[in-house]
Amino acid sequence: MNPKYNPLFDTFTLPSGVTLKNRITMAPMTNFASHENGEVSDQELAYYRERSGGVGAVITACVYVTPDGKGFVNEFGADKDEMIPSLRRLADTIHGEGAKAILQIYHGGRLCPPDQIPDGQPISASAVAEEKEGAPVPREMTSDDIHRVIRAYGEATRRAIEAGYDGVELHGANGYLVQQFFSPHSNIRTDEWGGSLEKRMAFPLAIVHEVKKVIAAHAKQPFIFGYRLSPEEGHTPGITLDDTMVLVDRLADEGLDYLHISVNHFFGGSFRDRSDERSRTVLIHEKVGNRVPIIGVGSLNTPDEALAALETGVPLVSLGRPLLMEPQWVQKVQNGTEDTIRTTLSKQAQQELVIPDYLWGALTTVPGWLPVTD
């Protein structure tokens, strides 16, 4: 291995006491490969097996915590105890390749396709549709709905513990339900769950407290708890970086293992204010990184780019699209063959890359997702 990449392979011990073998994690990416009943498929297990050998931890695709939270076709579930054997199969597969397994727990809220949820009616903080043509208007959640979903995040965490995962990541990013409560666009409530910035944080923090309570009650060994967030929203009203700085300051008091900052480019600036070119991830690290570890992600395609991210002080990086194109990314850096890392997606390489059929169709037909070659 080129010695300059040594920092990528330093171990890192999270606040919970769990030690990662290196500084690289696999980012959560939906793969559209589970069975219709929410169980993990063999094709999905093969996809994860191929990508779990080098990274320190795999953060799985999101699992829905309630049936009305399913946001994708062929998404896998953690909404009932019958799913524990399915969840265990995936945890065992990841562990079998030497990585820690972190289950991302999720509710899609107003972004759930009506044809994927039981009664066809998405729910959210308020009856405000996504800014997208044809988007359904969600039903505003009642107090009973809110408490039901909070408990469901805790129950999904218990199932993750029983299935042998090393941790969970709360999906508070990318416009899904947790973010919908935090956003002034989607949350126009006037009760204790919305209105002021403080009240818009109530739902995310209530889930954090529920998950922590479940971990304390059920985990028999150190258990990772991370939180993924998007630092800004492009529309107005929408989440600003100032809003996010208040949230991360509160989250840093919660004893979390990490904050995972969901952006398209680690070094990219604001998309609300194009004149502000400062990295959102670095700014958050400067604000709270001495209290909670930060995972940086976004367009870290090469080992040099990943190394540059670590050199900002952010202790962990996450790879998504690079591991789709090159499942052996980490191993190739480690054995000194980084010059053979694939940086494009060949339309002939599905079997070699072990990518499930539905995901392969999306990767090769959706413009701009990956650089595709014939």
* Predicted confidence band of residue 24 (pLDDT cuts 50, 70, 90): very high
Share of the chain above pLDDT 90, in %: 96
Overall size of the chain counted in residues: 374
Query: Counting Cβ atoms within 10 Å, is residue 261 exposed (0-12), middle (13-18) or buried (19+)?
Result: buried
Q: State the residue range of the domain holding 311.
A: 3-373
pLDDT higher than 90, residue 169: yes
Residue 35 CA to residue 338 CA, distance in Å, equals: 36
145: tokens are: 């709905």
* Predicted confidence band of residue 271 (pLDDT cuts 50, 70, 90): confident
pLDDT higher than 90, residue 369: no
Please tell me the predicted confidence (pLDDT) of residue 152: 98
pLDDT higher than 90, residue 374: no
- What pairing do the DSSP bridges indicate for beta strands 258-261 and 294-297? parallel
Query: What value does the mean pLDDT take over residues 81-86?
Result: 98
The CATH number of residue 356's host domain is 3.20.20.70
The per-residue pLDDT of the chain, averaged, comes to 97
pLDDT higher than 90, residue 366: no
17: tokens are: 């006491």
SS3 326: coil
Please tell me the predicted confidence (pLDDT) of residue 205: 98
Residue 121 CA to residue 101 CA, distance in Å, equals: 33
Which residues are part of the catalytic machinery? 176
Domains contained in the chain, number: 1
Q: 211: how many CB neighbours lie within 10 A of its CB?
A: 25
* Predicted confidence band of residue 272 (pLDDT cuts 50, 70, 90): confident
Question: Side chain identity at 298, as an amino acid letter?
Answer: G
Query: What value does the mean pLDDT take over residues 303-314?
Result: 98
DSSP symbols for 141-164: PPHHHHHHHHHHHHHHHHHHHHTT
Query: What value does the mean pLDDT take over residues 326-338?
Result: 98
Least confident of 138-152, 171-185, 218-232, 360-374: 360-374
Please tell me the predicted confidence (pLDDT) of residue 368: 84
Element (H, E) at 92: helix 84-96
Global pTM reads 0.98
Please tell me the predicted confidence (pLDDT) of residue 156: 99
Residue 55 CA to residue 326 CA, distance in Å, equals: 12
**Residue that is written with structure tokens 């408990």 in the block:** 151
